[in-house]
Amino acid sequence: MICKPDAVERGYVGEILSRFERKGLKIARAELRTLDSTTLAQHYEEHVGKGFYDELVAFMSRSPAFVAVIEGPEDTFAMVRTLMGSTNPAVAPPGTIRGDLGSEMTENLVHGSDSNESAEREIAIFFPE
Ligand code: CMP
C-alpha cells in the first residue's frame, strides 16, 4: 500500500497505519520515499495514457509518499482495500480511510493493490530486494 503525498503532507500516516494495525495486520516493510515518473509509470502501467494520468503523476511525485508492505492472512489485499473504501472518496463510506479523511478523486490518500498478483508485482517495484 502507499500513503500518497496528500496523506503524508496532512500528517495522516500514523492514523492510516494504526487502522491496519488495529485490524490485526502487520507492517512488514515501509519507507518514506519521493517517487519518480519512471517508477510511477511501472506502478501505474494500466493507467498510462488515460486522461487523469499526467495529473496523477504530478501529484504522486510532488512530495514524499510512504510505501509499505502489509502482511496478514490470505487475501490481505482485500482487507486493506475494504479499510480504504472506494477509489472516489466522495462515495467511500464513513469508517473507511477515504470516507473519513478524503474528498477528491486524485488526492485520495492511499493506494492498495487490487489482487495478490498486483501486490506481488508492486512489491517487486518498490522493494526489489
Ligand atoms: P489508485 O488506487 O492509486 O489508482 C489510480 C489512481 O488514479 C487513483 O487511486 C486516483 O488517485 C487516481 N485517479 C484520478 N482520476 C481517476 C479516475 N477517473 N479513475 C480512477 N483513478 C483515478
- Per-residue pLDDT of 80-124, as tens digits, reads 999 999 999 999 999 999 999 999 999 999 999 999 999 999 999
Query: What is the whole-number distance in angstroms between the Cα of residue 105 and the centre of ligand 1?
Result: 6
Q: Which three cell numbers stand for residue 85?
A: 473504501
pTM: 0.97
The edge-to-edge listing of strands for the beta sheet with 26-33 is 26-33, 65-71, 2-3, 110-111
Give the residue whose CA is nearest to atom 11 of ligand 1.
Answer: 106
Pocket of ligand 1 (CB under 6 A): 47, 52, 56, 87, 105-106, 108, 111
Cα 40 from Cα 22, distance rounded (Å): 30
Q: What is the mean pLDDT of the chain?
A: 98
Q: Which domains does the chain have, with CATH numbers?
A: 2-126 (3.30.70.141)
